[in-house]
A and B are shown apart, each in its own frame.
Chain A
Amino acid sequence: MTEPIAVKGLGKDYGAFTALGALDLAIPAGTCFGYLGPNGAGKSTTIKILTNLIRPSRGHATLFGVDVQRSPTQALRKVGAVIETPEFYGYLSPLEVLAYAGRLRGMSRTALASRSEAVLKTVKLTGWADKRVETFSKGMKQRLAVGQALLHEPDLLILDEPTSGLDPRGMAEVRDIVKSLKREGRTIFMSSHLLGEVQEVCDAAALIDHGKLLLQGTLDELAKRADTTAFQATFLAPPNPDELAWIGTLPGVKAVSPSGNGVVEIRLADGPEAQAAVIDSIVRAGLRLTAFRPIGTALEQLYLEQIQETEQ
């Protein structure tokens, strides 16, 4: 079966600056794929090439087997996209915006009416259906952007930081929408720099930085590659320097650093067994431990490690 997204040697230069190196990526159907990276990593560049907003300097990208550069209209037919926070024509209402997109896609009046009602309900803009977009906040425009991307029930959704500009409740709602689309079996390609977001909704992810793909895999595969040996121990009273030095001598402990208010960061050499032994020793020594938890998620640690490596 043809992959919804297949990218081979894709790159983009702006003069001497390489925004995207030579990206190889293949997203299987039905996957919710997180595209991770810091600002300026090349995420938006990739998405802009995929949606025919910019031309690649090398390589090619296909959507459902159709080359985006050669046949953009055919390639984008089954795609819904939200790129950055798009602006809409201020003189139109959400219903008219949806009608514009729907009519361009050749939707019938009946389908357009029913789908418009449904997506406005999904993105919680029903009460604003007839108001002009020029009065909308950034968050409302982002909801409308998500709505227009869903209008024609696309097989592939390309979302460039879809929760950008939304308040926490709006972010949660968009994540719920993405999850429900995932349950429907649609393929979702979502860029983000919010690791929690990717971890919550995606099955697989790729990490890029400075235009280079650093790693990719399922979230489980990525988690296994992460260094999950950094912990935060919280004590009832801050340990004194002697106590800290003693913790540093415990078997399996690589480094100890206090970070104030009774919190101490402990880096271990090994996995769960070393962790259990350290906790046991601390408690036996009479240091009053109130919490002991990993610092960040596996994905966060992997992300920071990889980004740090490319910075160096």
Chain B
Amino acid sequence: MIVGEDLRQAFVVATYELRKYLRSRRLIGMGVLLALIVGLILGLPPALGSPYPSTPNDFVGTFAGFTSLLAVLCGVLFAADALCSEHEKRTGYFLFPNPVRRETIVVGKLVASLAASWLILFLYYGVASVAALVVTRTLSWDVGLSAAYALVYVACVVGIAFLLSSVLKGTIASTVLTFFLFTLIFGIVGALLQVGDVSPWFIPTQAAAIISNVLSPPSVPPGFPLFVPDPPTSLAVFAGYFGVSSILATALFRRRELKT
């Protein structure tokens, strides 16, 4: 049970984690990447003589196509090394002998990872919405829904990254595995499941299609076996992965001994 003292300590841990993202330039790096994506999406059509999409859904849909990648990068930069680095870099020798529970440390780090990730996605959707408003003179509720789905999806990514960070010994292994899990492994597993006629509704990257689909629903030709996730199921999948991964990560981090 997390109590008042733990909440205060979790807040302290979270503020120092956020300071880490700022000082190690991870937050700025993500900001630069975000600016690059926005610059390309907004700059390329005029440069190539193409018109912008005319509806807000189509306009923000272009942005939403990159949301999953941004979410994965958030998981990689803000979560993948959060727990294992305390062991690998021996900073645990400073942190752990303080009267603070390991669970509290995990909660603090989780809060910081979510805050940083949500900030990035909030900025991304903010810029996309303002641009859509300027170009199409209107905005739809679907944009807000897509953003909300993205925020839940990034929580799922962060949760899984924390689990890997609690299991693996090295920060590099944890970071690389988090990245390839979401950019490659889940994709391969999802495709193979579909080949085997199994619905991949429980694969996070497949479920994440709701982020784009809410803006521009996919047109599935009859007889074509394309999996189209439904939002309630996908949100439950994201929440499930986040919840289970976070609980497991906390339990594993609590049990892990500092032997190095």
Contacts and interface: CB of A to CB of B under 8 A. Distances in A.
Nearest to A101: B98
Residue in B89, B101, B259 with the greatest tally of chain A CB atoms within 10 Å: B259
A177 B84 CA distance: 34
Given A91-B19, A91-B20, A103-B12, A76 B98 contact: yes
Contacts of B8: 106
B92 interface: yes
A101 B89 CA distance: 18
A92 B258 contact: no
A79 B97 CA distance: 8
Interface residues of A, number: 33
Assign chain B's interface to a size class.
20 to 34
A91 B85 CA distance: 14
Nearest to A71: B99
Given A101-B98, A103-B12, A54 B90 contact: no
A77 interface: yes
A89 interface: yes
Contacts of A81: 97
Interface stretch (A45-53, A189-197, A209-217): A45-53
Contacts of A220: none
B100 interface: yes
Contacts of A101: 94, 98
A86 B90 contact: yes
A101 B97 CA distance: 10
B100 A87 contact: no
Contacts of A96: 19
Contact of B99 (A73, A87, A92, A158): A73
Given A74-B99, A104-B100, A53 B92 contact: yes
A86 B94 contact: yes
B66 interface: no
Given A91-B24, A105-B99, A55 B257 contact: yes
B257 to A, nearest CB: 4
Interface in B241-260: 257-259
A62 to B, nearest CB: 15
Contacts of B90: 84, 86-87
A144 B90 CA distance: 15
A87 B97 contact: no
B197 interface: no
A7 interface: no
B12, B92, B94, B97 — most chain A CB neighbours (10 Å): B97
A72 interface: yes
A92 B19 contact: yes
A88 interface: yes
Interface string B127-145: 0000000000000000000
A51 B97 contact: yes
A106 B98 contact: no
A83 interface: yes
Interface string A65-79: 000000011111101
Contact of A145 (B12, B20, B94, B100): B94
B9 interface: yes
Nearest to A89: B91
B20 A84 contact: no
Interface in B66-113: 89-94, 96-101
B97 A76 contact: yes
B13 to A, nearest CB: 8
A72 B257 CA distance: 14
Contact of B89 (A54, A55, A79, A87): A87
A158 B93 CA distance: 13
A97 interface: yes
Interface in B8-27: 8-9, 12-13, 16, 19-20, 23-24
A87 B98 contact: no
Contact of A100 (B16, B24, B99): B16
A148 interface: yes
Nearest to B25: A91
Given A92-B19, A104-B98, A84 B259 contact: no
Contacts of B259: 48, 54
Contacts of B19: 91-92, 96
A96 B15 CA distance: 12
Interface of B: 5, 8-9, 12-13, 16, 19-20, 23-24, 89-94, 96-101, 257-259
15 contacts: A48-B258, A52-B96, A53-B93, A53-B257, A53-B258, A54-B257, A76-B97, A76-B99, A77-B99, A89-B91, A92-B16, A97-B94, A101-B94, A104-B99, A106-B8
Given A53-B92, A91-B20, A100-B16, 12 more contacts: A48-B257, A53-B96, A72-B99, A74-B99, A77-B99, A79-B97, A88-B94, A89-B20, A89-B91, A92-B19, A101-B98, A104-B13
